[in-house]
Amino acid sequence: MWKVSSKGRTYQNGKALSSETRRAIIDKIILRGGQKETGVFHGKLLDVATELNLSCSVVSKIWRQYCQTSSFSLLKKTTGNNSSLSDGDLQLLEVIKRQRPSTSYNEILNVLFDVGDLPTGSTSKTAVCNAVQNCLPSGKFTYKKINKVAQERFSLQNMAYTQLFIDYLHDKDPYTVQYFDECGVKLPGNGTRSYGHAPVGERAIEIIRYCETANTTVNVLCSLFGATYTNIVDGPSNTTEFLRFFEEA
């Protein structure tokens, strides 16, 4: 909603002065002898404020900013590091969040008090939250849904087996290859946290021990043309069921 100030200027609550108005303030002061290098102005800031329907304090603030920073643009609001968190604490905090994005602020506080530079009780969850969102070495972290990856996938044995399998299939005719597989209703996230922090623009990925609860299992024989044979097993499958399916197919 537009309002009219006591000086006769129309404005909106929460909206800063436009760049044109800020430039006009600086131009009028310099035109009347204002010196940016020293900040000296022998004229009256009140006269400039009256001409632009502004308060004298606003004109003084913008002139002082221009003398100190050589810019009259609106200063961005920045949230600095809490004085109680050292650079080492911030690095440790980022390592914790990258290793396990779902780590809670209470858990982070306990680690900081145990191995960080902070004495117990010297900072708060609010300070840690602010640091995660604004002050980590690699940039801001945001809160997002976690992509869970099974730890077993990256074992040396599994990686080696996968590479051998790829090498074996490299020279095969894809139209002659068929696969046995199984799928089912599983809850890999059962009892685990679903959200965590990660850098802006990056996914939150957490490697966990895979905890599954199978309900119904579907055995599948598939090829390049799709599924060619299936059967359904109540509950989790086992070697006996798999061999029976192999014989049927």
CATH of the domain at 54: 1.10.10
Please indicate, yes or no, if residue 8 is contained in any of the structural domains.
yes
Neighbours of 108 (CB within 10 A): 21
User: Token pair for residue 182?
Assistant: 């199984």
* Cβ(207)–Cβ(151) below 8 Å: yes
Q: Report whether pLDDT(151) > 80.
A: no
Burial of 94 (0-12, 13-18, 19+ CB in 10 A): buried
**241 lies in the same domain as 160:** yes
End residue of a domain, out of 69, 95, 120: 69
Burial of 140 (0-12, 13-18, 19+ CB in 10 A): middle
User: Which SS3 state, helix, strand or coil, does residue 119 take?
Assistant: coil
At residue 214, the pLDDT reads 53
Q: Report whether pLDDT(14) > 70.
A: no
**132 lies in the same domain as 179:** no
**172 lies in the same domain as 91:** no
Q: What percent of the chain has pLDDT over 90?
A: 7
* Span of 94-108, 121-135, 174-188 with lowest mean pLDDT: 174-188
Please indicate, yes or no, if residue 218 is contained in any of the structural domains.
yes
Strands 204-208 and 141-150: parallel
**168 lies in the same domain as 241:** yes
**179 lies in the same domain as 243:** yes
Please indicate, yes or no, if residue 81 is contained in any of the structural domains.
no
Residue span of the structural domain in which 36 resides: 2-69
* Cβ(54)–Cβ(62) below 8 Å: no
Is the pTM of the predicted complex or chain greater than 0.85? Answer: no
Under the banding of pLDDT at 50, 70 and 90, the label for residue 164 is very high
Q: Which helix (H) or strand (E) holds 207?
A: strand 204-208
**43 lies in the same domain as 95:** no
pLDDT per position as a tens digit, 17-38? 888 888 999 999 999 899 888 8
Q: Which of 190, 195, 194 is nearest to 209 (CA)?
A: 190
Q: Greater confidence, 187 or 244?
A: 244
pLDDT per position as a tens digit, 178-233? 888 887 766 555 566 778 888 888 888 877 665 555 577 888 999 888 888 888 88
- Number of domains, the chain: 3
HSE of 34 in the Cβ direction (CA atoms, 13 Å)?
Answer: 21
Please indicate, yes or no, if residue 82 is contained in any of the structural domains.
no
* Cβ(26)–Cβ(63) below 8 Å: yes
| Residue 208 backbone dihedrals phi, psi, to 5 degrees | -130, 165
**230 lies in the same domain as 161:** yes
End residue of a domain, out of 97, 118, 139: 139
**6 lies in the same domain as 55:** yes
**182 lies in the same domain as 109:** no
**29 lies in the same domain as 108:** no
Please indicate, yes or no, if residue 58 is contained in any of the structural domains.
yes
Please indicate, yes or no, if residue 205 is contained in any of the structural domains.
yes
Please indicate, yes or no, if residue 121 is contained in any of the structural domains.
yes
Distance CA 97, CA 146 (A): 12
Strands 226-234 and 216-223: antiparallel
At residue 213, the pLDDT reads 55
The residue-averaged pLDDT of 235-239 equals 75
Which amino acid appears at position 4 of this protein? V
Please indicate, yes or no, if residue 216 is contained in any of the structural domains.
yes
**157 lies in the same domain as 215:** yes
